[in-house]
Amino acid sequence: MYQCAVQLATKDLLGITAARGEDNELDLMLPKPLAVSMPYRRAPDNSQLWNPNWMQPSTFALNTQFIEVIVDLVVDHEKVQSPALNTVLRRTYKLIMIDPVLANTRQS
């Protein structure tokens, strides 16, 4: 359930569309990281599109901002269905950013 919400939010924030290739596999063209001096890309509705740096870890500043925006969107969307979810997702996300190993052991 949450995987779908995360995937949709990620796809929208990257400004990509999914297409099936001849082998019926999903083909995605991920955006390249922007040069430091380049402005953010904009969607037709003028919302910001993201260009994470795929070669850097999730703790890289821009990548962390991108992840936080996705988490916020998913939490806001799901809050309506489960108010307790907001707290759970934010605690899990903070643990993962601090120590991925600790986060995995606490969720078991």
Domain borders along the chain are: 2-107
What is the average pLDDT value for the chain, to the nearest integer?
A: 75
pLDDT the model gives residue 92: 55
Give the contacts of 78 (CB within 8 A, at least 6 positions apart).
Answer: 2, 5, 85, 86, 89
On the question of pLDDT at 5 being above 60, the answer is: yes
In this structure, what is the dihedral angle of CA atoms 7, 85, 99, 70, given to the nearest 10 degrees? Answer: 30
On the question of pLDDT at 51 being above 90, the answer is: yes
Average pLDDT rounded to a whole number, residues 75-102: 58
- Kindly indicate the confidence band of residue 76, based on its pLDDT and cuts at 50, 70 and 90: confident
- Kindly indicate the confidence band of residue 107, based on its pLDDT and cuts at 50, 70 and 90: very low
